[in-house]
Each structure stands twice: as C-alpha cells, then as structure tokens.
Amino acid sequence: MFRLLILGGTNFLGRHLVDAALERHHAVTLFNRGRTNPGLYPMVEQIAGDRDGGLGALTGRRWDAVIDTSGYVPRLVRQSAIALETAAEHYCFVSTISTYAKPERPGLDETAPIATLDDPLVEAVTPETYGALKGLCEAAVDAVLPGRTLIIRPGLIVGPHDPSDRFGYWVARLRRGGTMLVPGRAEAPIQLIDARDLAAWMIRMVESKAAGLYNATGPAEALTMGGLLDTGRQALDSAAEFDWVDDDFLLGQEEAVALPFWIPANAAQAGLLAMDCRRAVSAGLKFRPLSETYLDTAAWLDTRAPDYAWKPTGPTPAREAVLLGAWQKRQHPVTAHRRS
C-alpha cells in the first residue's frame, strides 16, 4: 500500500487521481480548502487548509509521494515543496503544455524552451501569464527536490466531470444534430486525453517514483479535427452534418467567435495541438477508445441538472445559425441572392 498526499483532489483530474489511487488500494490523504465538491470522498482522510499560509496542518506527517494538482503560483508551490521536503520521498507536479514559449510549430518535445515573464514576481493567473507561471512552478519544485520531482505537462483533458464544458460542447452539439458549424480544416491536428487515462498513468508513474518531464496528451496515433468529430458522430449515433467554416471567415467577424479546440492554422499556439508525447507513451501512457470517452461523457452530462448554466465555450444555437447563414451567403452569393 502506498501513502499518497494529493494537494487538491476533488475537481476533475484530481478526483480521477483519487479514484485511480483507491482502485490500486493506496492510502490517500487530501489537502485542500474544502470548497470544491466537499464531502466527495468520505472514506478518504481530509486535511483542511489553504496552501497560502496554512501548510502547518501537514507538519509531522509522512507520505510516500505527493501529487500537486492545484499549483499555479510559484511562491506557493515552492512553499509546498519546502514544507513537504522531508515529509515525502517524491513530488509530482501537474503542469501544462501551455508552458512552452513558442508553440507555433508541431512536434515540440520536453526539451523545447518554456515561456518566461518580464516580471517573475507576477502572481495574477491570466491567459497571458498562465503558461509561464506553470513553468516557474516546475522550476520551484525541482530546485527544492532535485531528482525527486515528476513534472507532467498535460494538453486538453476531457471526459466525465470536466468543468470546462469544452469537450462537452461538442458532445451536446453532435447530439442535437442538424447542420453544425465546425471551424477550420478537417485535417487540422488535434490532441486530447481522457482524464481517467492520464490519472491511471500518473499513479503508476508515482508508484515507481519516476522523475523528469513528460508531455502527456494523446492519442498515440495522429488525430484530426475531422476524425475527432466523425468518431463522435458515430459513437453518439448523431445525424449532424458538418459545415466546415474557414479560419479567415471566423476571425473576420465583428463579434469574436469562440469554439472549443479551435486554434487557427497560422496562430502562434497552433503547435499546442500537435505535441511530441513519445516519451510518455514509452513510459506506459495508454489511451482508451475515443468512442468510449464520448459515450461516458454523454452519460455524465445527462446527470447534470436541467438548468445547469453551461460555460460560454461555443456559440448559442441562434448565433451558430447566423454564422452559418453568413458563411453560406459568402460561399454561394448568387444562390443566396436568388433566395432572398
């Protein structure tokens, strides 16, 4: 039996890590503020506390390993590493592929340069600072615990209990059917990983006290946006018809258009959906069929309250219809003119 401390542990990846650890009969302790899904694991030891000034609650304890799922600010991550330096033999930090400095080209591996901040003391987590802050968090842990640190850099994480609604948008949209606005190109690369696959692999890596950096997304073989949505259409028995709308049209709208997983082909972040993850695959990272992720996510979505307020990850049906109408008019101006 492994004694495992998880910082966080009740939201999305964290809860899947707890499930994976319990499935392997490990003794799990959770340290968090008790604000997200309190009472989710009554059978698991819970230590309430805030990592900003409340780490004293961990004093005098011992664990075989720590998994840090909730570190975003380098100062706080460093304090956690120092507080646990003698309390645990191994520290696993969940980072992100967004930490890379220039992800415009595909195929970046773990040796690529990471982003930096003009002011390394910045602590505001924004879309602009997020990746660089995670990189500083990685460095903070490794400086305190050299040779004892495992850094996991996931990409898009999907599956049941995903609070972002990104993958959920496509599941719900496919189930609704009809003509469906799909951004970019069918052959555009896409990578994602089921949170359960990531969690199971991470627990095995922690058990072996593996160290170093690992990009962690999937699948093992190349996937395209067209393949992603075709798989969903088949898995969900959807009657949706895809209307592929090009980047320039969407970028040219007066009102910004946001769609999950869409990164324009010429964007500075285009390479984030085509990372080199061979190191993780060689270390045992495996992926369930994408159709299973679709079906399980759909089943989980059905358990949410009917009045659940979806995150604004994609256009409303009305907005989508307007965009599709404008796109069709641009593609077939003569026909559109005759119909009017």
Q: Which residues fall within 8 angstroms of residue 155, CB to CB, at 6 or more apart?
A: 96, 97, 191, 192, 193, 215, 216, 217, 272, 273, 275
The whole-angstrom separation of Cα 95 and Cα 213 is: 10
Query: Is 333 a residue whose pLDDT tops 80?
Result: no
Mean pLDDT of 173-194: 97
What pLDDT, on a 0 to 100 scale, did the predictor assign at position 335? 54
Mean pLDDT of 55-70: 95
What pLDDT, on a 0 to 100 scale, did the predictor assign at position 331? 85
Tell how far CA 6 is from the center of its chain.
18
Average pLDDT across the chain, whole number: 95
Kindly report, residue by residue over 91-134, the tens digit of the pLDDT: 999 999 999 999 988 999 999 999 999 998 999 999 999 999 99
What pLDDT, on a 0 to 100 scale, did the predictor assign at position 340? 41
What pLDDT, on a 0 to 100 scale, did the predictor assign at position 120? 85
Least confident of 35-39, 276-280, 322-326: 35-39
Mean pLDDT of 171-199: 97
Mean pLDDT of 158-168: 97
**Cα Rg of the chain, angstroms:** 21
Mean pLDDT of 212-236: 97
Mean pLDDT of 24-48: 94
The DSSP call for residue 88 is E
Please state the φ and ψ torsions of residue 82, each to the nearest 5 degrees.
-65, -45
- Alpha helices for 35-106 (secondary structure H): 74-83
List of domains in the chain: 3-160+192-216 (3.40.50.720), 166-190+220-271+290-334 (3.90.25)
pTM, entire model: 0.95
